[in-house]
A = this chain, B = another copy of it.
Amino acid sequence: MAVNSPDRTRRSERSRTAILTATRELIAEVGYAKLTIEAIAARAGVGKQTIYRWWSSKGAVVFDSILALSEQTDGEVALPDTGDLAADLKTVLRATAAEFADPAFEAPIRALNMELIADPELAELYREKLEKPVTEAKKRRLRAAREAGQLAADTDLDLFLEFLYAPLTQRWLLRSGPLDDAFADALVDATLRAFP
Protein backbone atom coordinates (compact mmCIF):
# COMPACT_ATOMS: atom_id res chain seq x y z
CA MET A 1 0.00 0.00 0.00
CA ALA A 2 1.81 3.07 -1.25
CA VAL A 3 1.54 6.27 0.71
CA ASN A 4 0.57 9.10 -1.60
CA SER A 5 3.82 11.00 -1.31
CA PRO A 6 4.93 13.39 -4.03
CA ASP A 7 7.44 12.43 -6.68
CA ARG A 8 10.70 14.15 -5.84
CA THR A 9 12.13 13.77 -9.32
CA ARG A 10 9.44 16.03 -10.75
CA ARG A 11 9.89 18.78 -8.22
CA SER A 12 10.26 22.29 -9.59
CA GLU A 13 13.63 23.69 -8.62
CA ARG A 14 12.47 27.16 -9.60
CA SER A 15 9.60 27.06 -7.10
CA ARG A 16 11.74 25.55 -4.35
CA THR A 17 14.30 28.30 -4.59
CA ALA A 18 11.71 31.06 -4.85
CA ILE A 19 9.95 29.80 -1.71
CA LEU A 20 13.14 29.62 0.31
CA THR A 21 14.25 33.07 -0.79
CA ALA A 22 10.84 34.62 -0.17
CA THR A 23 10.81 33.11 3.30
CA ARG A 24 14.12 34.65 4.25
CA GLU A 25 13.16 38.03 2.82
CA LEU A 26 9.84 38.09 4.62
CA ILE A 27 11.33 37.16 7.98
CA ALA A 28 13.78 40.02 7.64
CA GLU A 29 11.03 42.42 6.53
CA VAL A 30 8.03 41.71 8.73
CA GLY A 31 9.46 39.47 11.41
CA TYR A 32 8.87 35.87 12.17
CA ALA A 33 5.66 36.36 14.16
CA LYS A 34 3.94 37.92 11.16
CA LEU A 35 5.31 35.45 8.63
CA THR A 36 2.48 33.63 6.85
CA ILE A 37 2.41 30.81 4.35
CA GLU A 38 0.14 32.87 2.13
CA ALA A 39 2.61 35.72 2.02
CA ILE A 40 5.45 33.34 1.17
CA ALA A 41 3.39 31.81 -1.63
CA ALA A 42 2.40 35.20 -3.00
CA ARG A 43 5.95 36.56 -2.87
CA ALA A 44 7.36 33.41 -4.47
CA GLY A 45 4.66 33.38 -7.18
CA VAL A 46 3.67 29.91 -6.12
CA GLY A 47 0.47 28.12 -5.11
CA LYS A 48 0.07 27.40 -1.42
CA GLN A 49 -0.27 23.72 -2.19
CA THR A 50 3.25 23.67 -3.58
CA ILE A 51 4.48 24.67 -0.14
CA TYR A 52 2.28 22.20 1.70
CA ARG A 53 3.29 19.46 -0.73
CA TRP A 54 6.94 19.64 0.21
CA TRP A 55 7.01 20.98 3.75
CA SER A 56 5.04 19.79 6.72
CA SER A 57 5.06 23.02 8.72
CA LYS A 58 6.09 26.63 8.66
CA GLY A 59 9.01 25.68 10.85
CA ALA A 60 10.23 23.23 8.24
CA VAL A 61 10.20 25.92 5.57
CA VAL A 62 12.13 28.31 7.78
CA PHE A 63 14.57 25.52 8.57
CA ASP A 64 15.21 24.76 4.92
CA SER A 65 15.51 28.42 4.05
CA ILE A 66 18.43 28.66 6.47
CA LEU A 67 19.86 25.34 5.38
CA ALA A 68 19.86 26.49 1.76
CA LEU A 69 21.70 29.63 2.81
CA SER A 70 24.45 27.75 4.59
CA GLU A 71 24.81 25.22 1.81
CA GLN A 72 25.82 28.02 -0.50
CA THR A 73 28.66 29.10 1.74
CA ASP A 74 29.86 25.76 3.04
CA GLY A 75 31.62 23.08 1.18
CA GLU A 76 34.17 22.44 3.87
CA VAL A 77 34.34 24.58 6.97
CA ALA A 78 37.65 25.23 8.60
CA LEU A 79 38.72 27.39 11.51
CA PRO A 80 41.87 29.47 11.32
CA ASP A 81 44.94 27.81 12.76
CA THR A 82 47.83 30.17 13.45
CA GLY A 83 49.12 27.98 16.25
CA ASP A 84 47.78 30.45 18.82
CA LEU A 85 44.55 28.86 20.05
CA ALA A 86 43.35 31.84 22.07
CA ALA A 87 43.88 34.25 19.22
CA ASP A 88 42.17 31.95 16.72
CA LEU A 89 39.14 31.41 18.93
CA LYS A 90 38.85 35.15 19.53
CA THR A 91 38.88 35.75 15.78
CA VAL A 92 36.06 33.26 15.32
CA LEU A 93 33.93 34.44 18.22
CA ARG A 94 34.36 38.08 17.29
CA ALA A 95 33.19 37.24 13.77
CA THR A 96 30.24 35.26 15.04
CA ALA A 97 29.19 38.08 17.33
CA ALA A 98 29.53 40.57 14.48
CA GLU A 99 27.27 38.55 12.21
CA PHE A 100 24.42 38.96 14.65
CA ALA A 101 24.50 42.71 14.04
CA ASP A 102 22.95 42.32 10.57
CA PRO A 103 19.15 42.02 10.87
CA ALA A 104 18.79 40.36 7.44
CA PHE A 105 21.04 37.60 8.73
CA GLU A 106 19.99 37.63 12.33
CA ALA A 107 16.20 37.59 11.97
CA PRO A 108 15.87 34.27 10.09
CA ILE A 109 18.22 32.53 12.50
CA ARG A 110 16.32 33.92 15.47
CA ALA A 111 13.13 32.60 13.86
CA LEU A 112 14.76 29.24 13.37
CA ASN A 113 15.82 29.11 17.00
CA MET A 114 12.25 29.74 18.11
CA GLU A 115 11.14 26.82 15.99
CA LEU A 116 13.88 24.64 17.44
CA ILE A 117 12.79 25.51 20.96
CA ALA A 118 9.20 24.65 20.12
CA ASP A 119 9.82 21.51 18.06
CA PRO A 120 12.19 18.82 19.40
CA GLU A 121 12.24 16.89 16.15
CA LEU A 122 13.27 19.92 14.18
CA ALA A 123 15.93 20.63 16.78
CA GLU A 124 17.36 17.14 16.33
CA LEU A 125 17.33 17.59 12.57
CA TYR A 126 19.10 20.92 12.99
CA ARG A 127 21.84 19.36 15.06
CA GLU A 128 22.38 16.65 12.51
CA LYS A 129 22.23 18.64 9.32
CA LEU A 130 23.43 22.11 10.18
CA GLU A 131 25.26 22.16 13.45
CA LYS A 132 27.26 18.96 13.16
CA PRO A 133 29.61 19.97 10.31
CA VAL A 134 30.37 23.25 12.02
CA THR A 135 30.92 21.55 15.36
CA GLU A 136 33.23 19.04 13.71
CA ALA A 137 35.31 21.83 12.24
CA LYS A 138 35.61 23.43 15.64
CA LYS A 139 36.61 20.12 17.22
CA ARG A 140 39.29 19.57 14.61
CA ARG A 141 40.87 22.86 15.63
CA LEU A 142 40.64 21.90 19.30
CA ARG A 143 42.20 18.49 18.69
CA ALA A 144 45.08 20.16 16.91
CA ALA A 145 45.52 22.33 20.00
CA ARG A 146 45.38 19.27 22.21
CA GLU A 147 48.11 17.60 20.22
CA ALA A 148 50.16 20.78 20.51
CA GLY A 149 49.81 20.49 24.27
CA GLN A 150 47.69 23.60 24.58
CA LEU A 151 44.75 21.63 25.99
CA ALA A 152 44.70 18.74 28.43
CA ALA A 153 44.42 15.31 26.84
CA ASP A 154 41.19 14.52 28.66
CA THR A 155 39.34 17.74 27.81
CA ASP A 156 35.66 17.16 26.95
CA LEU A 157 35.48 19.04 23.67
CA ASP A 158 31.67 19.17 23.55
CA LEU A 159 31.52 20.69 27.00
CA PHE A 160 34.30 23.08 26.03
CA LEU A 161 32.21 24.31 23.09
CA GLU A 162 29.03 24.62 25.13
CA PHE A 163 30.94 26.74 27.59
CA LEU A 164 32.41 28.87 24.86
CA TYR A 165 29.25 29.49 22.87
CA ALA A 166 26.25 29.27 25.21
CA PRO A 167 26.81 32.65 26.89
CA LEU A 168 27.13 34.27 23.48
CA THR A 169 23.99 32.64 22.11
CA GLN A 170 22.08 33.55 25.23
CA ARG A 171 23.07 37.21 25.12
CA TRP A 172 22.07 37.36 21.49
CA LEU A 173 18.73 35.59 21.81
CA LEU A 174 17.59 37.50 24.89
CA ARG A 175 19.44 40.71 24.02
CA SER A 176 20.72 40.71 27.58
CA GLY A 177 24.01 42.42 26.90
CA PRO A 178 26.40 43.74 24.24
CA LEU A 179 27.98 41.38 21.71
CA ASP A 180 31.24 43.22 21.39
CA ASP A 181 34.84 42.15 20.99
CA ALA A 182 35.48 42.50 24.71
CA PHE A 183 32.76 39.99 25.44
CA ALA A 184 34.05 37.59 22.80
CA ASP A 185 37.55 37.83 24.22
CA ALA A 186 36.29 37.32 27.76
CA LEU A 187 34.51 34.16 26.69
CA VAL A 188 37.64 32.72 25.15
CA ASP A 189 39.84 33.63 28.09
CA ALA A 190 37.44 32.22 30.66
CA THR A 191 36.88 29.04 28.72
CA LEU A 192 40.61 28.45 28.31
CA ARG A 193 41.04 28.98 32.02
CA ALA A 194 38.23 26.52 32.74
CA PHE A 195 39.79 23.84 30.51
CA PRO A 196 43.53 24.21 30.91
Contact = CB atoms under 8 A, between A and B. Distances in A.
Interface stretch (A45-53, A86-94, A95-103, A163-171): A163-171
Give chain A's interface residue range (CB within 8 Å of chain B): 35 or more
Binding site of A, secondary structure by majority: helix, strand, loop or mixed?
Answer: helix
Interface stretch (A16-24, A64-72, A138-146, A188-196): A188-196
Nearest to A113: B117
B176 A127 contact: yes
Interface in A178-196: 186, 190-191, 193-196
B193 A123 contact: no
Contacts of A10: none
Contact of A193 (B32, B169, B177, B194): B194
> How many copies are assembled?
4
A190 B186 contact: no
Given A166-B167, A190-B163, A190-B195, A114 B118 contact: yes
A186 B194 CA distance: 10
B33 A173 contact: no
Contact of A170 (B120, B156, B169, B195): B169
B194 A116 contact: no
A159 interface: yes
A110 interface: yes
A171 to B, nearest CB: 7
A174 interface: yes
Given A110-B117, A159-B190, 9 more contacts: A32-B118, A114-B114, A124-B175, A127-B176, A163-B194, A166-B169, A166-B170, A193-B194, A194-B194
19 contacts: A33-B118, A110-B118, A114-B117, A116-B174, A120-B175, A123-B175, A127-B176, A156-B186, A158-B177, A159-B186, A162-B167, A163-B167, A166-B166, A166-B169, A190-B194, A190-B195, A191-B194, A193-B195, A193-B196
